[in-house]
Chains A and B, each alone.
Chain A
């Protein structure tokens, strides 16, 4: 039985985002900050090895703007 391949992606709600920048520090492999301090997220699915630090980044966001969504 094959395990279902579900892609996990990072998504930020730009209305809630207040440019705290915690996410970019915790997940520099997938999130960078633009010249105004707002997150630029790597499009496309997240590498499975990055899922744990990604969850940390999601819970560290002071405004809960960062989300991890599953799409198969």
Chain B
């Protein structure tokens, strides 16, 4: 029999679960899920740029999933931010959600979170209003995702201790490696891309080589084949 259980207030502290810390746990949990979702969004986004496909899924699934998961990730990020602000255990002003350097708690790491969230918001909003923007403007904002994700990862890794131990550490590393590898693959593919002005020349060479490799017609009666027409 624990003598402290007779004291109601002690019981509260010992049990440790009240509305305040519930928000804190939700914030941490949604943070982890958001990072996982954002990792998936990044990987899918990179796949879309190369017209890639997911095995077994239709073509529209890649871009469709990319968009839907990004919206879902936003929901989780918003809950993550709101619960962190509402929670009374540490003092985080609401402005710290979008303005860097305004939180007295973990100023640097939360600033990174704010920066990442800002960029994410811009990417999502411009995508929802894509039809009204110039292609160049939409693309420029969307490219900031390449910055937003690593910043979100660093925020996740350092703003709390969750990702620095146990199996969440492995999760964090796997996410980082996956995105880095996918980005490297994307960069390599882009380096192999032929500039527009050279595309038709390359294809011409390729199709003419293939046709020249064909054996000539067996029966030849009078004049010789004309090589001249495809001499360069």
- Interface segment among B58-66, B83-91, B213-221: the answer is B58-66
Chain B interface secondary structure, helix, strand, loop or mixed? helix
In the complex, A41 has a CB within 8 A of chain B: no
In the complex, B131 has a CB within 8 A of chain A: yes
Once the chains are docked, how many angstroms separate the CA of A36 from the CA of B214? Answer: 22
In this complex, how many residues of chain A approach chain B with their Cβ under 8 Å: the count is 12
Once the chains are docked, how many angstroms separate the CA of A62 from the CA of B48? Answer: 8
Give B34-65 as 1s and 0s: 1 = Cβ < 8 Å from A's Cβ atoms.
00000000000000100100000011100110
Residues of B within 8 A of A26 (CB): 60
Residues of B within 8 A of A19 (CB): 51
Contact status of A21 and B130, CB under 8 A, knowing A60-B64, A62-B48: no
B47 to chain A, nearest CB (A): 11
B residues sitting closer than 8 Å to A (CB atoms) are 48, 51, 58-60, 63-64, 130-131, 135
A residues sitting closer than 8 Å to B (CB atoms) are 16, 18-22, 24-26, 60, 62, 64
List 15 additional A-B contacts (Cβ < 8 Å) besides A16-B135, A20-B48: A18-B51, A20-B51, A20-B63, A22-B60, A22-B64, A24-B59, A25-B58, A25-B59, A25-B60, A60-B60, A60-B63, A62-B48, A64-B130, A64-B131, A64-B135
